[in-house]
Chains A and B, each alone.
Chain A
Amino acid sequence: MNKHSLFPERGPAFWWTGFTALIAAGTIFILFVSLVIESVPVFKSQGLSFLWGADWFAGEAYGALPMIFGSLMVTGLAVVMVLPFALGSAILTSEFLNGRLRLVVKAAMELLAGVPGIIYGLMGIAVLTVWVRDVFGLIDGNTLFTAGLLLAVMILPTVMTLSEDALRSVPGEFRDTALSLGLTRMEMTLKVVVPQALPGLAGAVFLGLGRAMGETIAVMLVIGGIDRIPQPWFNLFAPGQSIPSKIGREAAEALGFDVQWSALIALGLVLFVMVMTLTSAGNLLLRRAR
Chain B
Amino acid sequence: MPARFSRKVILGLALVLFGTGVFLQIGPGGVTHALAQDSTVIRIAGSTTVLPIVSRAAEQFQTRNSSVRITVNAGGSGVGIHGTGTRRLDVGLASREITSKEKNRYASSRLNTTVIGRDAVACVVSSEIFDSGVRSLSRQQIGDIYLGKITNWKQVGGPDRKIIVIDKEAHRGTRHVFMKYLFGKSNARAPGARLVTGSNNEEQAKIAQSDSAIGMLSIAWINNDVVGIGIREGHQVIKPTLKNVRAGRFPIARNLNLVTAGQPRGVVKQFVNYLLSKEGQVFVEVSGYIPIRSPQLMSQVAGSHSK
Contact = CB atoms under 8 A, between A and B. Distances in A.
Contact of B212 (A129, A139, A256): A139
Given A239-B194, A250-B169, A253-B82, A139 B189 contact: no
Contact of B195 (A57, A239, A250, A255): A239
Contacts of B91: none
B79 A252 contact: yes
Interface residues of B, number: 31
B59 to A, nearest CB: 23
Contacts of A249: 169, 198
Given A60-B187, A140-B195, A224-B195, A253 B75 contact: yes
A226 B167 CA distance: 9
B275 to A, nearest CB: 23
A258 interface: yes
B78 A253 contact: yes
B180 interface: no
Contact of A139 (B79, B88, B161, B170): B161
A75 to B, nearest CB: 21
Interface string B185-203: 0010100011111100000
A57 B170 contact: yes
Contacts of A60: 187
B288 interface: no
Contacts, number: 63
Interface string A213-228: 0000000000011110
B210 interface: yes
B194 A59 contact: no
A60 B88 CA distance: 25
Given A252-B75, A253-B171, A142 B195 contact: yes
B206 interface: yes
B273 interface: no
Given A226-B194, A253-B76, A253-B78, A129 B209 contact: yes
Interface in B207-259: 209-210, 212-213
B39 interface: no
A225 B197 contact: yes
A257 interface: yes
Interface string B72-83: 000110110011
A254 interface: yes
A253 B167 CA distance: 17
B195 A256 contact: no
Interface string B57-99: 0000000000000000001101100110010100000000000
A30 B237 CA distance: 59
Contacts of A256: 86
Given A139-B162, A226-B194, A256-B86, A58 B167 contact: no
A256 B86 CA distance: 9
Interface of B: 75-76, 78-79, 82-83, 86, 88, 101, 105, 161-162, 164, 167, 169-171, 187, 189, 193-198, 205-206, 209-210, 212-213
Pairs A-B, 5 closest by C-beta atoms: A225-B196, A253-B78, A252-B75, A139-B162, A226-B196
